[in-house]
Amino acid sequence: MQDYSVNQFLKLAKTPKIDIEVCDVTLRDGEQMPGVVFRADEKLEIAIRLNEVGVEIIEAGFPVVSEAEKRAVQDITNLGLDSKISVLSRSVPKDVEVALDCDVDMVSVFIATSELHLKYKLHMTCAEAVKCAFETVEFAKDHGLIVRFSAEDATRTDFDLLKRLYRKAEEYRADYVSIADTVGIMNPRTTGYLVSEIKKEVDIPICMHCHDDLGMALANTLAAAEAGAKQLHTTINGIGERSGNTPLEELLVALRVHHDVDRYDTTKLTPLSKLVQSCSGVMMPKNKAVVGENAFAHESGIHVAAVLEEPRTYELYSPEMVGSARRIIIGKHTGAKALKYITKKMGYDLKKDEICLLAEKVKRCSEFKRPISCDELRRLIHDLDIEVVYPGP
Protein backbone atom coordinates (compact mmCIF):
# COMPACT_ATOMS: atom_id res chain seq x y z
CA MET A 1 0.00 0.00 0.00
CA GLN A 2 1.32 3.39 -0.97
CA ASP A 3 2.07 5.62 2.02
CA TYR A 4 -0.29 8.57 1.43
CA SER A 5 0.67 11.55 3.57
CA VAL A 6 -2.99 12.10 4.42
CA ASN A 7 -2.72 9.07 6.72
CA GLN A 8 -0.97 11.20 9.37
CA PHE A 9 -4.14 13.27 9.73
CA LEU A 10 -6.28 10.14 9.96
CA LYS A 11 -4.20 9.10 12.95
CA LEU A 12 -4.30 12.56 14.50
CA ALA A 13 -8.06 12.74 14.01
CA LYS A 14 -8.42 9.24 15.47
CA THR A 15 -10.42 8.13 12.43
CA PRO A 16 -12.16 4.84 13.31
CA LYS A 17 -11.54 1.57 11.50
CA ILE A 18 -14.30 0.73 9.05
CA ASP A 19 -15.96 -2.54 8.10
CA ILE A 20 -17.80 -2.15 4.82
CA GLU A 21 -19.18 -3.81 1.73
CA VAL A 22 -20.26 -2.16 -1.51
CA CYS A 23 -23.63 -2.56 -3.19
CA ASP A 24 -23.58 -1.06 -6.68
CA VAL A 25 -27.00 0.03 -7.95
CA THR A 26 -26.04 1.20 -11.46
CA LEU A 27 -28.30 -1.34 -13.15
CA ARG A 28 -31.31 -0.14 -11.16
CA ASP A 29 -30.93 3.38 -9.75
CA GLY A 30 -28.41 4.40 -12.42
CA GLU A 31 -30.86 3.41 -15.14
CA GLN A 32 -33.48 5.68 -13.57
CA MET A 33 -31.47 8.63 -14.89
CA PRO A 34 -33.59 10.34 -17.55
CA GLY A 35 -32.78 8.99 -21.01
CA VAL A 36 -30.68 6.04 -19.80
CA VAL A 37 -31.68 2.53 -20.89
CA PHE A 38 -29.30 -0.42 -20.78
CA ARG A 39 -29.80 -3.28 -23.22
CA ALA A 40 -29.79 -6.80 -21.75
CA ASP A 41 -26.32 -7.53 -23.17
CA GLU A 42 -25.02 -4.25 -21.72
CA LYS A 43 -26.41 -5.15 -18.29
CA LEU A 44 -24.62 -8.49 -18.46
CA GLU A 45 -21.31 -6.87 -19.39
CA ILE A 46 -21.60 -4.24 -16.65
CA ALA A 47 -22.44 -6.92 -14.07
CA ILE A 48 -19.44 -9.02 -15.13
CA ARG A 49 -17.14 -5.99 -14.83
CA LEU A 50 -18.53 -5.07 -11.39
CA ASN A 51 -17.88 -8.62 -10.26
CA GLU A 52 -14.29 -8.35 -11.53
CA VAL A 53 -13.79 -5.17 -9.52
CA GLY A 54 -14.87 -7.12 -6.44
CA VAL A 55 -18.14 -5.38 -5.61
CA GLU A 56 -19.90 -7.59 -3.04
CA ILE A 57 -23.50 -6.91 -4.11
CA ILE A 58 -24.96 -5.94 -7.48
CA GLU A 59 -28.49 -4.55 -7.57
CA ALA A 60 -29.47 -5.96 -10.94
CA GLY A 61 -32.77 -4.20 -11.48
CA PHE A 62 -36.45 -3.93 -10.62
CA PRO A 63 -37.80 -7.12 -12.23
CA VAL A 64 -41.50 -6.48 -11.68
CA VAL A 65 -41.27 -3.52 -14.09
CA SER A 66 -41.41 -5.65 -17.26
CA GLU A 67 -40.76 -9.10 -18.67
CA ALA A 68 -37.63 -7.78 -20.38
CA GLU A 69 -36.30 -6.46 -17.07
CA LYS A 70 -37.10 -9.78 -15.39
CA ARG A 71 -35.25 -11.73 -18.12
CA ALA A 72 -32.22 -9.42 -17.82
CA VAL A 73 -32.07 -10.06 -14.06
CA GLN A 74 -32.40 -13.80 -14.64
CA ASP A 75 -29.55 -13.70 -17.14
CA ILE A 76 -27.34 -11.96 -14.56
CA THR A 77 -28.16 -14.46 -11.82
CA ASN A 78 -27.38 -17.30 -14.25
CA LEU A 79 -23.83 -15.98 -14.68
CA GLY A 80 -22.86 -17.48 -11.33
CA LEU A 81 -20.91 -14.41 -10.23
CA ASP A 82 -19.16 -14.12 -6.88
CA SER A 83 -21.14 -10.93 -6.20
CA LYS A 84 -24.52 -11.42 -4.55
CA ILE A 85 -27.42 -10.34 -6.76
CA SER A 86 -30.10 -8.09 -5.33
CA VAL A 87 -33.25 -6.51 -6.75
CA LEU A 88 -35.67 -3.80 -5.70
CA SER A 89 -39.10 -4.73 -4.35
CA ARG A 90 -42.05 -2.60 -3.41
CA SER A 91 -43.81 -3.52 -0.18
CA VAL A 92 -46.03 -6.07 -1.89
CA PRO A 93 -45.50 -9.87 -1.91
CA LYS A 94 -45.98 -9.99 -5.70
CA ASP A 95 -42.65 -8.18 -6.18
CA VAL A 96 -40.92 -10.73 -3.96
CA GLU A 97 -42.47 -13.57 -5.95
CA VAL A 98 -40.98 -12.12 -9.14
CA ALA A 99 -37.62 -11.79 -7.39
CA LEU A 100 -37.83 -15.45 -6.39
CA ASP A 101 -38.50 -16.38 -10.02
CA CYS A 102 -35.22 -14.62 -10.85
CA ASP A 103 -33.33 -16.70 -8.25
CA VAL A 104 -31.71 -13.64 -6.66
CA ASP A 105 -29.90 -13.63 -3.33
CA MET A 106 -31.39 -10.47 -1.86
CA VAL A 107 -34.37 -8.14 -2.08
CA SER A 108 -34.52 -4.52 -1.03
CA VAL A 109 -38.03 -3.96 0.33
CA PHE A 110 -38.74 -0.26 0.39
CA ILE A 111 -41.50 2.00 1.62
CA ALA A 112 -41.63 5.79 1.90
CA THR A 113 -41.72 6.87 5.54
CA SER A 114 -41.65 10.69 5.53
CA GLU A 115 -44.89 12.57 6.16
CA LEU A 116 -44.39 14.30 2.81
CA HIS A 117 -44.25 11.03 0.85
CA LEU A 118 -46.99 9.33 2.85
CA LYS A 119 -49.40 12.22 2.23
CA TYR A 120 -48.64 13.18 -1.36
CA LYS A 121 -47.29 9.98 -2.92
CA LEU A 122 -48.66 6.95 -1.12
CA HIS A 123 -51.88 8.56 0.21
CA MET A 124 -51.59 6.22 3.18
CA THR A 125 -51.15 6.53 6.90
CA CYS A 126 -47.79 5.53 8.33
CA ALA A 127 -49.42 2.53 10.04
CA GLU A 128 -50.87 1.31 6.75
CA ALA A 129 -47.57 1.72 4.92
CA VAL A 130 -45.39 -0.06 7.45
CA LYS A 131 -47.90 -2.90 7.80
CA CYS A 132 -47.46 -3.59 4.07
CA ALA A 133 -43.68 -3.28 4.37
CA PHE A 134 -43.21 -5.66 7.28
CA GLU A 135 -45.62 -8.23 5.86
CA THR A 136 -43.47 -8.18 2.71
CA VAL A 137 -40.25 -8.45 4.72
CA GLU A 138 -41.70 -11.45 6.54
CA PHE A 139 -42.82 -13.06 3.27
CA ALA A 140 -39.36 -12.62 1.75
CA LYS A 141 -37.62 -14.05 4.82
CA ASP A 142 -39.97 -17.04 4.87
CA HIS A 143 -38.85 -17.75 1.30
CA GLY A 144 -35.14 -17.75 2.14
CA LEU A 145 -34.07 -14.37 0.81
CA ILE A 146 -31.63 -11.91 2.35
CA VAL A 147 -33.78 -8.85 3.08
CA ARG A 148 -32.87 -5.19 3.25
CA PHE A 149 -35.58 -2.95 4.67
CA SER A 150 -35.22 0.50 3.13
CA ALA A 151 -36.95 3.59 4.47
CA GLU A 152 -37.35 5.84 1.45
CA ASP A 153 -36.87 9.53 2.28
CA ALA A 154 -35.49 8.40 5.64
CA THR A 155 -33.59 11.64 6.12
CA ARG A 156 -36.83 13.65 6.12
CA THR A 157 -38.69 11.16 8.33
CA ASP A 158 -39.44 11.96 11.97
CA PHE A 159 -36.37 10.66 13.80
CA ASP A 160 -38.20 8.86 16.63
CA LEU A 161 -40.46 7.19 14.08
CA LEU A 162 -37.47 6.16 11.98
CA LYS A 163 -35.78 4.52 14.97
CA ARG A 164 -38.98 2.62 15.82
CA LEU A 165 -39.31 1.41 12.25
CA TYR A 166 -35.76 0.09 12.12
CA ARG A 167 -36.21 -1.71 15.45
CA LYS A 168 -39.42 -3.23 14.08
CA ALA A 169 -37.64 -4.31 10.88
CA GLU A 170 -35.09 -6.18 12.98
CA GLU A 171 -37.93 -7.90 14.88
CA TYR A 172 -39.29 -9.02 11.51
CA ARG A 173 -35.87 -10.62 10.78
CA ALA A 174 -34.64 -8.10 8.21
CA ASP A 175 -30.93 -8.62 7.56
CA TYR A 176 -30.18 -4.94 6.92
CA VAL A 177 -31.82 -1.57 7.49
CA SER A 178 -31.17 1.05 4.83
CA ILE A 179 -31.06 4.82 5.20
CA ALA A 180 -32.09 6.41 1.92
CA ASP A 181 -31.09 10.06 1.60
CA THR A 182 -33.57 10.28 -1.26
CA VAL A 183 -33.20 13.98 -2.04
CA GLY A 184 -29.57 14.40 -0.93
CA ILE A 185 -30.38 16.68 2.00
CA MET A 186 -27.62 15.48 4.35
CA ASN A 187 -24.08 16.65 5.04
CA PRO A 188 -21.22 14.62 6.53
CA ARG A 189 -21.88 15.80 10.09
CA THR A 190 -25.61 15.04 10.05
CA THR A 191 -25.00 11.74 8.26
CA GLY A 192 -22.47 10.63 10.85
CA TYR A 193 -24.84 11.56 13.66
CA LEU A 194 -27.79 9.77 12.06
CA VAL A 195 -25.89 6.53 11.46
CA SER A 196 -24.34 6.50 14.94
CA GLU A 197 -27.77 6.98 16.54
CA ILE A 198 -29.41 4.25 14.43
CA LYS A 199 -26.52 1.95 15.33
CA LYS A 200 -27.56 2.29 18.97
CA GLU A 201 -31.04 1.05 18.08
CA VAL A 202 -30.34 -2.07 16.00
CA ASP A 203 -27.82 -4.90 15.94
CA ILE A 204 -28.18 -5.66 12.21
CA PRO A 205 -26.02 -3.87 9.60
CA ILE A 206 -26.91 -0.40 8.36
CA CYS A 207 -26.85 0.58 4.68
CA MET A 208 -26.30 4.10 3.35
CA HIS A 209 -27.85 5.18 0.06
CA CYS A 210 -26.91 8.74 -0.90
CA HIS A 211 -28.02 11.08 -3.66
CA ASP A 212 -25.91 14.00 -4.84
CA ASP A 213 -28.34 16.93 -4.92
CA LEU A 214 -25.96 19.06 -2.83
CA GLY A 215 -22.80 17.49 -4.24
CA MET A 216 -22.09 15.65 -0.97
CA ALA A 217 -23.01 12.04 -1.77
CA LEU A 218 -19.44 10.76 -1.61
CA ALA A 219 -18.60 12.71 1.56
CA ASN A 220 -21.81 11.55 3.21
CA THR A 221 -21.16 7.93 2.26
CA LEU A 222 -17.68 8.08 3.79
CA ALA A 223 -19.08 9.76 6.91
CA ALA A 224 -21.65 6.97 7.18
CA ALA A 225 -18.92 4.33 6.94
CA GLU A 226 -16.87 6.04 9.64
CA ALA A 227 -19.96 6.15 11.86
CA GLY A 228 -20.53 2.42 11.44
CA ALA A 229 -22.58 1.87 8.28
CA LYS A 230 -21.76 -1.50 6.73
CA GLN A 231 -23.22 -1.43 3.23
CA LEU A 232 -22.40 1.54 0.97
CA HIS A 233 -24.40 2.16 -2.19
CA THR A 234 -22.86 3.46 -5.42
CA THR A 235 -23.36 3.86 -9.15
CA ILE A 236 -20.66 3.84 -11.81
CA ASN A 237 -19.80 7.44 -12.75
CA GLY A 238 -22.37 8.58 -10.17
CA ILE A 239 -25.23 8.32 -12.68
CA GLY A 240 -28.79 8.27 -11.38
CA GLU A 241 -31.88 10.36 -10.86
CA ARG A 242 -31.47 14.13 -10.91
CA SER A 243 -27.87 14.80 -9.78
CA GLY A 244 -27.07 11.12 -9.38
CA ASN A 245 -25.60 8.94 -6.66
CA THR A 246 -22.29 8.24 -4.94
CA PRO A 247 -19.75 7.42 -7.69
CA LEU A 248 -18.30 3.91 -7.35
CA GLU A 249 -14.89 4.90 -8.68
CA GLU A 250 -14.49 7.84 -6.30
CA LEU A 251 -15.63 5.82 -3.30
CA LEU A 252 -13.25 2.91 -3.95
CA VAL A 253 -10.26 5.20 -4.39
CA ALA A 254 -11.20 7.24 -1.32
CA LEU A 255 -11.54 4.04 0.72
CA ARG A 256 -8.10 2.98 -0.43
CA VAL A 257 -6.42 6.34 0.20
CA HIS A 258 -8.12 7.14 3.51
CA HIS A 259 -8.83 3.74 5.02
CA ASP A 260 -6.39 1.28 3.41
CA VAL A 261 -9.25 -0.74 1.90
CA ASP A 262 -7.40 -2.36 -0.98
CA ARG A 263 -9.42 -5.50 -1.74
CA TYR A 264 -11.11 -3.97 -4.79
CA ASP A 265 -9.44 -4.14 -8.21
CA THR A 266 -9.29 -0.43 -8.91
CA THR A 267 -7.27 -0.99 -12.12
CA LYS A 268 -10.57 -1.84 -13.80
CA LEU A 269 -12.32 1.42 -12.88
CA THR A 270 -11.42 3.56 -15.91
CA PRO A 271 -12.38 0.88 -18.47
CA LEU A 272 -15.62 0.30 -16.54
CA SER A 273 -16.36 4.02 -16.54
CA LYS A 274 -15.85 4.19 -20.30
CA LEU A 275 -18.12 1.20 -20.82
CA VAL A 276 -20.94 2.83 -18.85
CA GLN A 277 -20.44 6.14 -20.65
CA SER A 278 -20.82 4.30 -23.95
CA CYS A 279 -23.87 2.28 -22.83
CA SER A 280 -25.66 5.15 -21.11
CA GLY A 281 -24.73 7.98 -23.47
CA VAL A 282 -23.83 10.05 -20.39
CA MET A 283 -20.34 11.45 -20.92
CA MET A 284 -18.22 12.45 -17.95
CA PRO A 285 -16.77 15.97 -17.61
CA LYS A 286 -13.07 16.16 -18.45
CA ASN A 287 -12.29 17.16 -14.87
CA LYS A 288 -14.27 14.28 -13.32
CA ALA A 289 -12.36 12.80 -10.37
CA VAL A 290 -10.60 9.45 -10.92
CA VAL A 291 -11.90 8.67 -14.42
CA GLY A 292 -12.09 12.05 -16.16
CA GLU A 293 -9.96 12.68 -19.24
CA ASN A 294 -7.95 15.27 -17.31
CA ALA A 295 -7.58 13.29 -14.06
CA PHE A 296 -3.90 12.65 -14.90
CA ALA A 297 -3.29 15.38 -17.49
CA HIS A 298 -0.60 18.01 -16.92
CA GLU A 299 0.12 21.17 -18.93
CA SER A 300 1.51 23.79 -16.55
CA GLY A 301 5.27 24.00 -17.00
CA ILE A 302 6.02 23.96 -13.28
CA HIS A 303 3.74 20.98 -12.73
CA VAL A 304 5.03 19.03 -15.71
CA ALA A 305 8.65 19.55 -14.72
CA ALA A 306 7.91 18.22 -11.24
CA VAL A 307 5.80 15.28 -12.47
CA LEU A 308 8.53 14.21 -14.90
CA GLU A 309 10.94 14.18 -11.95
CA GLU A 310 8.55 12.51 -9.47
CA PRO A 311 4.86 11.88 -10.38
CA ARG A 312 3.74 12.01 -6.73
CA THR A 313 4.39 15.76 -6.67
CA TYR A 314 1.08 16.38 -8.46
CA GLU A 315 -0.61 12.96 -8.44
CA LEU A 316 -2.15 11.66 -5.24
CA TYR A 317 -2.28 8.15 -6.68
CA SER A 318 -0.88 6.69 -9.89
CA PRO A 319 -2.98 6.53 -13.07
CA GLU A 320 -2.11 2.84 -13.29
CA MET A 321 -3.93 2.28 -9.98
CA VAL A 322 -7.24 3.09 -11.70
CA GLY A 323 -6.44 1.68 -15.14
CA SER A 324 -5.61 5.06 -16.67
CA ALA A 325 -2.50 6.76 -18.07
CA ARG A 326 -0.66 10.03 -17.57
CA ARG A 327 -0.96 12.66 -20.30
CA ILE A 328 1.40 15.58 -20.83
CA ILE A 329 -0.57 18.30 -22.61
CA ILE A 330 1.06 20.69 -25.08
CA GLY A 331 -0.37 24.16 -24.67
CA LYS A 332 0.03 27.71 -23.43
CA HIS A 333 1.45 26.61 -20.06
CA THR A 334 3.86 23.97 -21.37
CA GLY A 335 7.42 24.74 -20.30
CA ALA A 336 10.80 23.97 -21.84
CA LYS A 337 11.43 20.87 -19.74
CA ALA A 338 8.12 19.36 -20.74
CA LEU A 339 8.74 20.15 -24.40
CA LYS A 340 12.17 18.55 -24.21
CA TYR A 341 10.57 15.41 -22.76
CA ILE A 342 7.76 15.31 -25.33
CA THR A 343 9.95 15.94 -28.35
CA LYS A 344 12.45 13.31 -27.21
CA LYS A 345 9.61 10.82 -26.92
CA MET A 346 8.63 11.76 -30.48
CA GLY A 347 12.16 10.99 -31.70
CA TYR A 348 13.76 14.45 -31.77
CA ASP A 349 16.90 15.65 -30.01
CA LEU A 350 16.55 19.44 -29.84
CA LYS A 351 19.07 21.80 -28.30
CA LYS A 352 18.14 24.23 -25.52
CA ASP A 353 17.77 27.27 -27.82
CA GLU A 354 15.70 25.22 -30.25
CA ILE A 355 13.39 24.15 -27.43
CA CYS A 356 12.97 27.81 -26.45
CA LEU A 357 12.06 28.75 -30.04
CA LEU A 358 9.57 25.90 -30.16
CA ALA A 359 8.05 26.94 -26.85
CA GLU A 360 7.35 30.42 -28.22
CA LYS A 361 5.59 28.95 -31.27
CA VAL A 362 3.54 26.66 -29.05
CA LYS A 363 2.41 29.58 -26.88
CA ARG A 364 1.32 31.59 -29.93
CA CYS A 365 -0.59 28.65 -31.44
CA SER A 366 -2.29 27.78 -28.16
CA GLU A 367 -3.95 31.19 -28.00
CA PHE A 368 -6.73 29.55 -30.01
CA LYS A 369 -7.85 27.95 -26.70
CA ARG A 370 -7.06 24.34 -27.46
CA PRO A 371 -4.16 22.00 -26.81
CA ILE A 372 -1.74 21.16 -29.62
CA SER A 373 -1.57 17.62 -30.96
CA CYS A 374 1.67 15.75 -31.57
CA ASP A 375 1.15 16.05 -35.34
CA GLU A 376 0.84 19.83 -35.02
CA LEU A 377 3.92 19.91 -32.81
CA ARG A 378 5.82 17.92 -35.42
CA ARG A 379 4.88 20.50 -38.06
CA LEU A 380 6.05 23.30 -35.79
CA ILE A 381 9.39 21.54 -35.32
CA HIS A 382 9.88 21.20 -39.08
CA ASP A 383 8.89 24.84 -39.59
CA LEU A 384 11.78 25.90 -37.38
CA ASP A 385 14.90 26.96 -39.24
CA ILE A 386 17.01 24.28 -37.55
CA GLU A 387 18.60 20.98 -38.36
CA VAL A 388 16.45 18.23 -36.87
CA VAL A 389 18.33 15.28 -35.39
CA TYR A 390 16.63 11.92 -35.08
CA PRO A 391 18.24 9.89 -32.32
CA GLY A 392 16.49 6.71 -33.43
CA PRO A 393 13.50 4.80 -32.08
Q: What is the mean pLDDT of each run of 10 residues along the chain (393 residues)?
A: 67 86 98 96 98 98 97 98 98 98 98 97 96 98 98 98 98 98 98 98 98 98 98 98 98 95 97 98 97 91 81 94 90 80 83 86 74 79 65 48
Long-range contacts of 213-216 (CB under 8 A, 24+ apart): 213/183, 213/184, 213/185, 213/242, 213/243, 214/184, 214/185, 214/187, 215/243, 216/184, 216/186, 216/187, 216/188
Task: Note the pTM of the prediction, 2 decimals.
Answer: 0.91
pLDDT attached to residue 66: 96
d(CA 157, CA 380): 64
Domains and CATH numbers, the chain: 10-280 (3.20.20.70), 297-383 (no CATH)
Going by C-alpha positions, the residue among 251, 246, 333, 272 that lies closest to residue 297 is 333
Give the strand pairing for 327-328 and 106-112.
unpaired
**How crowded is residue 52: how many other Cβ atoms within 10 Å of its Cβ?**
17
Q: What is the pLDDT of residue 38?
A: 97
Confidence (pLDDT) at 205? 98
